[in-house]
Amino acid sequence: MTQHDLLDRIVSTARGAVASRQQSRPRAIVEREAADRTPRADAFRAALSVSQRVNVIAECKRRSPVNGVLREDYDPSHLAQSYEAGGAAAISVLTEPSFFDGALEHLTRVRASVALPVLRKDFLVDEYQIPEARAAGADAVLLIVAVLGDRLELLVRAADRFGLAALVEVHDGNELRRAVDAGARIIGVNSRDLRTMTVRPATCAHLAPRMPAGITAVAESGIRTGEDVAHLRAVGYSAFLVGERLVRSVDPGASLRELIDASGAASTKHQAPHQARSTKH
Q: What is the CATH number of the domain that holds 252?
A: 3.20.20.70
Q: What is the largest CA-CA distance in the chain?
A: 55
Q: Which residues have CB under 8 Å from 35's CB, separation 6+?
A: none
The catalytic position among 169, 238, 244, 255 is 169
pLDDT for residue 268: 61
Residues, the chain: 281
267 is catalytic: no
3 state SS of 154: helix
- Please give the Cα distance from 60 to 74 (Å, whole number): 9
pLDDT at 196 over 90: no
220 is catalytic: yes
pTM over 0.85: yes
190 is catalytic: yes
The model's confidence at residue 4, banded by pLDDT at 50, 70 and 90, is: low
- DSSP 8-class letter at 25: S
Q: Is residue 173 part of a domain?
A: yes
Q: Is residue 266 part of a domain?
A: yes
Q: Which domain holds residue 55?
A: 3-270
Q: Is residue 281 part of a domain?
A: no
Secondary structure of 26-75 as H, E, C letters: CHHHHHHHHHCCCCCHHHHHHHCCCCCCCEEEEEECCEECCCEECCCCCC
Q: Is residue 276 part of a domain?
A: no
Q: Is 5 left (phi over 0), alpha (psi -120 to 50) or beta?
A: alpha
The catalytic position among 84, 96, 132, 220 is 220
59 is catalytic: yes
Q: Is residue 250 part of a domain?
A: yes
61 is catalytic: yes
The catalytic position among 55, 82, 121, 255 is 121
pLDDT at 1 over 70: no
pLDDT at 281 over 80: no
The catalytic position among 61, 113, 132, 175 is 61
The catalytic position among 59, 96, 127, 175 is 59
Q: Is residue 255 part of a domain?
A: yes
The count of structural domains within the chain is: 1
121 is catalytic: yes
The catalytic position among 55, 82, 221, 263 is 221
